[in-house]
Amino acid sequence: MSTTSKTITLTLFITTTLLASCNAAANATTKPLFPAILIFGDSTVDTGNNNYPLPTIFRAEHFPYGMDLPDGKANGRFSNGKLISDIIATKLNIKEFIPPFLQPNLSDQDILTGVCFASAGAGYDDLTSLSTQAIRVSEQPNMFKSYITRLKGIVGDKKAMEIINNALVVISAGPNDFILNYYDIPSRRLEYPFISGYQDFILKRLENVVRELYSLGSRNILVGGLPPMGCLPIHMTLKFRNVFRFCLEQHNRDSVLYNQKLQNLLPQLEASLKGSKILYADVYNPMMGMMQNPSRYGFKETKRGCCGTGFLETSFMCNVFSPTCQNRSEFMFFDSIHPSEATYNVIGNLLDPKIRGKFQA
């Protein structure tokens, strides 16, 4: 073989090897870490289940909700755009938007890659959902059972359980329990005169949900902690009629204590559930960081929502007649309770490497 032929052959070999390496790297980057994503909880992750026949006032199927979605239409998400669950699913290359399970026209592909069972107004405490008429978090695993039945009908029992075993489960709830049952409406205070007792009750309810999901096949579980509840705009309005809008520090301390207990509980749960991986999702510290140093994240307003006055408006009170801010990305909250898509993006950017670190290993 001539020198020229050897050179050409070597060049082709190197080129082919490099292309194969690049393709392998690209596939490793784009291939989803999980085959599906399954969502349980409240309005922070409800992608539209409350749109469907439920006797609840907690709905976001009207403008200005959804105004920054690709089609600019409200679809049940309590924000101006994507929710944290959508952002996680996008970052993990699973899908861009997670459909609600109660959506009547779900495709087989929707089912294969995961759905949302969450309901705005829900809580771990059944009493919370009784007052809001939302789907109880404790009831959401029953919807999951119906989902599994349909999944088995599409791919068969074995493949369905493989998808369930490897799917990422996200659970996000808790604030409604404390705000609706303890702080603003003291339904549980007679039974639990000290907040620590009620926290323990809620954590036991959460544990029951995790154990039930595990019994149904879930193995990879992400559990969200509480936000700084004392800094939610509506909470400051109802509890602290001060023009300077100070956060309610005691309620923030309650959030910190609950989150510490949750972080202690989850490793114990993981150890007791063979083959499980359970990760705590910190939302408290990222949100406090945004409030303490808003300009770092591009925010100009952290104490009121973008919709209406931003002090009280949420759900039906945030509507087509409510004036909205021009630059939603400068507002930490979209309404008086729920974060903006910009806030969820910050939290998603922080959670993504933690999810990969925990579940990729």
The catalytic site residues sit at 43, 335, 338
Take residue 277 and report the two structure tokens written for it: 């991986």
Residue type, 345: N
Which contiguous run of DSSP H or E holds residue 26?
helix 3-30
Q: By CB neighbour count within 10 A (0-12 exposed, 13-18 middle, 19+ buried), where does 109 fall?
A: exposed
Take residue 233 and report the two structure tokens written for it: 């705009």
- Cα distance between residue 143 and residue 122, in whole Å: 14
- Residue keyed to tokens 């949302």: 116
* Contact call for residues 198 and 188 (beta carbons, < 8 A): yes
- Cα distance between residue 236 and residue 247, in whole Å: 6
- Cα distance between residue 273 and residue 215, in whole Å: 9
Count CB neighbours of 201 within 10 A: 16
Strands (E), the chain: 37-41, 168-172, 220-224, 277-281, 301-305, 331-333
End-to-end CA distance of the chain: 48
* Contact call for residues 80 and 72 (beta carbons, < 8 A): no
Point out which residues pair with 168 in neighbouring strands: 37, 220
DSSP annotation of 124 reads S
Residue 18, SS3 per DSSP: helix
Residue 331, SS3 per DSSP: strand
Take residue 191 and report the two structure tokens written for it: 């039974």
- Cα distance between residue 6 and residue 74, in whole Å: 63
Point out which residues pair with 37 in neighbouring strands: 168
